[in-house]
Structures are given as C-alpha cells and as structure tokens.
Structure 1
Amino acid sequence: MTSQPLISVIVAVYNGDKTLQRCIDSVFDQTYPNKELIVLDGGSTDDTVDILKRNNDKIAYWKSEPDTGIYNAWNKALDHVSGEWIYFLGSDDYLWKNSVFQEMASHLMKGASENIQLVYGQVARVTAADEICCVDGNPWDYTWNGIVEDGVCTFTHQGMFHHRSLFETYGKFDESYRIVGDYELLIRVFKEGGDALFVNGLIVAGMQTGGVTANCTNLVKETARARRTHSLKVVTIPWLISYAWAICYPVLNRILGDKNTRYLVNFGKRFVTGLSHKKNVILKQKNQ
C-alpha cells in the first residue's frame, strides 16, 4: 500500500454533452494527485465524443462504443483500472469540492489497513438548477440494515469507494439489472455481514436527480428480484412502503416539484428504515 493510494474514477456516459465537462473537471481539478479517470461512452450521438477528444489529456482511458447499459460499461471499464480504490461517478454528477479525494485519502488508507473493502461518505442530491434537495449517507449499521434486512436502497454509489479486492473476490456487476446492479453487488458482498467505513460529514458528490433511478416502480421491482436471487425476504414493511412511494412519486412530483418530492421521499425512507433499525437493535440486545 502506498502513502497515497491511487483512486480510479469510472464514468459511464451516453449522450451526456450537457454535463460531462463539469464531471470531468470535477475529477481533474482535485488537489489529490494520485488519481486516474476512465470514461466509457455508449456510442453517443450528441457532442459527447467531441468532449472526450478535447479532454484526452485529462483521461487515462476512454472508448466510445455501443453497450447494453451502465453496468456493462462499468464492467468494461474495470478491465482498465490501475487504482487500489475504485469510484463510480455519473456523467451528470460531480465531485462536491476540489479537496474531496484529499480528505478521503486517510480514510481509504485506514480501510485498507483494516481489510475493509468499502469506504463511503455522503452525497448531496441536487436539481438541474443545483438546488440541494437533501443529503444522503448514514452510519454502516443503519445502511446495512436497509440493504440486507429491509430491502431499501439506503445508499448512493456516488459516495462509495470500492477496494479493487472487492471485485476480485465477489466478481463484477450483474449486467441483467438495469437499475440496481450496484445494490445486487452489495447484497452479494455483505449479506452475511461485514464492515464498511462511513466518513460522516464529508459530502463526496453532487448527484443530479433524475436518470435511470427516477423510474421508481422499476427500481423497486428490480430490488425485489435481487433479493429473491439471494434468498432474502422480499416483502418487508419498508419495502411495501417503498413500493407505495414509487407508485405515488410521479403524481407528487407534478404537484410538489422535483426538489420537494425528493426531500419528502428521503425523509420517509429515513423515518421508516430508522424505526426498523431501532427495532432490530432492540431484538439483538434481547437475544444476547
């Protein structure tokens, strides 16, 4: 392990010419020197490829060719990483400030020294106008409970740094998923337990609302499929509430707007999963 671990940033993009430059700049402008950027484009028909060509000196590797979705692109990019830690950023998202990697580095070193394969901070959900809707990111016991016990996606991949050994041990993303391949991978890694390191108070990225996860109904259905695949209980109270939210989301979005709806959804998710986490903690204490 070096004193400054190499961080490999993977970006998958398709027709992202409106936001890709901001994403690239947020990586290139990091004060942390030991980083590399890898971009896989799905065969864009807008100006994305021209942007990649203009930024060739900022990118360690890029390619433009048709793919079958974001997880196919990520898997192809994994073949080209050199870093000890791997970070996935959406082309319409961006690193929150220029010192993110510098501030995260000591935590990555601590994680590696303790054989921890996942280190994560917080993510600000923002509108297209850069208004903050809410900030995601909670301690690991809460996050693990949501992922494994409740079947609720209580994480955002834009805050997560994966040690390369995680993929060497558990494999790459399952490309049969269109939305929750990152969730399925976390189930694969942590369904039997295990630790991750949460860096509280460090906003890693701004995540623009919308994108593939905006289709809440399909997200909940794919979550159920991932849980069935790993023999986890599908129908939990938090999962049912998530399904109800998914059905209501389009109507709420029209009435309240993107910012207020996202805030309301996240508040509801935190409230429900918080109650579930508290219940499970009490049960564990009683059984000890």
Structure 2
Amino acid sequence: MKPDSPLISVIIPAYNHEKFIGEAVESVLRQTIADLELIVIDDGSTDNTGKVVKSYSDRRLSYYHQENQDAYNTINRGLSMVRGKYVAILNSDDVYTRDRFEKIVAYQKKTGAQCVITDVIPISDDGQIFQDPDFGWNRWHSGNRKCYFESGDIYAAFLNGNFMVTTSNLFMTAEAAEKVGKFCSLRYLHDYDYIFRMMLAYPESVHYMADDKLLYYRIHPGNTLGEAAIIGREQDQQLIRKYMAAKVGQQDRLYAETGGQRLIDLGNELHDVRSQLEPAVMPGVRPALKTLIMSLRAWLAKKLPS
C-alpha cells in the first residue's frame, strides 16, 4: 500500500437508485473512520442516479459511468481500482451504520481476520425496520443464524443459507480480495459464490460478528417472487452442490448432511414458488424433487467415507 493510500476502499455499484443512492453515499462519507476512498460506478443508470452522486463534492469520492454490464462486472471493475488496505462493497440501496468501519477494523486488528461480516437490519423502501419476528425474511434469516450457532461451523452454516445476506456485508483485506479474485457471472448469487471461495482460501479467517448489526439491508416490495425467485434457487442448488463437494473428503459428514438438507429444502421452495407462478406445470415438480433426493443419496454414498 502506497503512503498516500486510504485505509479503506469502498465500491458502490449503482443502477437506477436515485431514491436511495444519496443515503448510501452519505453512510460512507460520514463514517467515524474518515480515512477512506469511495468509488461509485454507475452501471448505465437511466434515472438521476449519476446526478445525485455528482452533487457531492467530497474529495474522497470518485464517480464513473459505464454502459450497463450487470452488478458483478461493475464490482470487478471497482476491485481493479481500489488502493486501500481494506476493501468494502455497498449496494446503492443499502446503508452502513455510522460506526460500521470503526467496529470492524478494531475487530479485524484484534483477530487478524481476512474477511468480516456482521449481522444486518432489514428495512423497507422508506427506511422502516422490519421488526416482526414472523415477517418472512426475519424467519429465514433467524433460521440461518440458528444453524450457525448450533453447528459452530461457519462453512456448514453457509451451506444452510446465505446469512451474509448481501454483497454489502463484505469487508475484507485487500490481500484477501486479490487472492479470491473476481466475482463470478451469477446474476443473483455472485455474493454467495464469493463467500464460499473466501472461506476456501482462508478456512480460519472468515469471521461473523453475530452480535453487531452494522448494515441496513433494503428489502423492496415484490423482490421475493418472480422469475428471480426460481433462477436464484436454481443457482443456489448449483452452488451448494459445488461447495459441498469441495469439503467432502476433507472434513466430515456435517457439510454433506447440512448441504443435502438445504438441497431438499430448496426443492420444496421451488415447488411453492412455481405453484404460485406456474400452476399448469405443477404435476412434474414433486417427481423432480423425488429424483433430486435419490440422486443426492447416491452422490453422498460415493463421496462420503464409510
């Protein structure tokens, strides 16, 4: 790191978020740690996102515009530009708590972690916190956290579900970001793939600050149902198969059993989603789930030690 380099580099990939981008930018610039640079890359927005960003005159802020290339390519461009000792990513509709970096940097210096994630606070479009424990997202996140606490194993817990929640939750050393490399081309789950690769690169150095809620995560109306709900779960199945296989043979049955159960749960979730979106195709889904379970059992029989 050069002498004039900032402590922290923050990348915001922005797309058509004129309503939220100002709050995101301000949550970076108003951090209690001021030694940072903010790189905003506008991925071909057609609204006033760019105008809002350019209204800030802070010397730490750099703005770039490009033709639309999707989020993972936008993040990868940002990664090629960072200069800091640490690297963070913030989606243009999410918001940091003011002391996020202060708390994470102190934790990182104490533990030597290469990558740190925290707990998050779910909010609506107008900034209201979803506090009801029976709210669907809260139930999902609570279940993932429960698996983390019960298993005591961060890799196994991620096989059960992405409790990192979002790319915005990533905070890593520049060394780790360089070693893990670019984000993959999965449209919906590039963050999920990335955290698995991070855990494989640094098996003992990915840490979860489970008691600290240091990120506001925006949940938009209608986000959870539609084509993305199906494609996302199909990509989820692919990733779990891939990263479960990466651990089987190195560790023990915990990873395969946890990931296998998640595959079964995803089959059920796909059934529920398709029942709402595609009633006419439902007769073929349950048999497909049965086939998935049988295939999984055969795969595990080959992979697991007797």
Q: Bin the TM-score by the shorter chain.
A: 0.7 to 0.9
How many Å apart are 1:142 and its aligned residue?
4.5
Which residue of the partner structure matches residue 72 of structure 1?
A: 73
* Secondary structure in 1 matching 2:58: helix
Which deviates more from structure 2 when the two are superposed, residues 73-82 or residues 230-239?
230-239
How many Å apart are 1:181 and its aligned residue?
1.1
Select which of 194, 197, 218 maps to 1:208: 218
**Cα distance in 2 between the residues matched to 1:155 and 1:161:** 11
Which residue of the partner structure matches residue 240 of structure 1?
A: 264
Select which of 137, 142, 162 maps to 1:153: 162
How many Å apart are 1:210 and its aligned residue?
3.5
- Kept after mapping to 2: 8 A contact 1:158/1:204: no
Which deviates more from structure 2 when the two are superposed, residues 12-21 or residues 139-148?
139-148
Q: 1:188-220 CA deviation, whole Å, 9 max, x = no partner?
A: 232483332222322111010139974332221
Select which of 231, 241, 245 maps to 1:218: 231
Structure 1 position 164 matched with structure 2 position 174: yes
Unpaired runs of 5+ residues, structure 2, are 131-137, 247-255, 277-306
- Kept after mapping to 2: 8 A contact 1:43/1:65: yes
Which residue of the partner structure matches residue 281 of structure 2?
A: none
Letter of the 2:216 counterpart: G
Change (3 A) 1:250 1:48: farther
Letter of the 2:106 counterpart: S
**Cα distance in 2 between the residues matched to 1:247 and 1:181:** 24
> Following superposition of structure 1 onto structure 2, how do residues 102-117 of structure 1 map, counting pairs within 5 Å?
102-111=102-111, 114=112, 116-117=113-114
Give the superposed CA RMSD. 3.1
Letter of the 2:230 counterpart: T
Which of the two has higher C-alpha Rg? 2
Q: Which TM-score applies when normalising by structure 2?
A: 0.69
Unpaired runs of 5+ residues, structure 1, are 253-288
Letter of the 1:146 counterpart: A
Q: How much identity, in percent, do the aligned residues show?
A: 22
> Following superposition of structure 1 onto structure 2, how do residues 133-282 of structure 1 map, counting pairs within 5 Å?
133=130, 134=138, 138=145, 141-148=152-159, 150=160, 152-156=161-165, 157-174=167-184, 176-191=185-200, 193-210=203-220, 214=224, 215-230=228-243, 231=245, 236-245=260-269, 247-248=271-272
- Kept after mapping to 2: 8 A contact 1:15/1:45: yes
How many Å apart are 1:69 and its aligned residue?
1.0
**Cα distance in 2 between the residues matched to 1:212 and 1:27:** 27
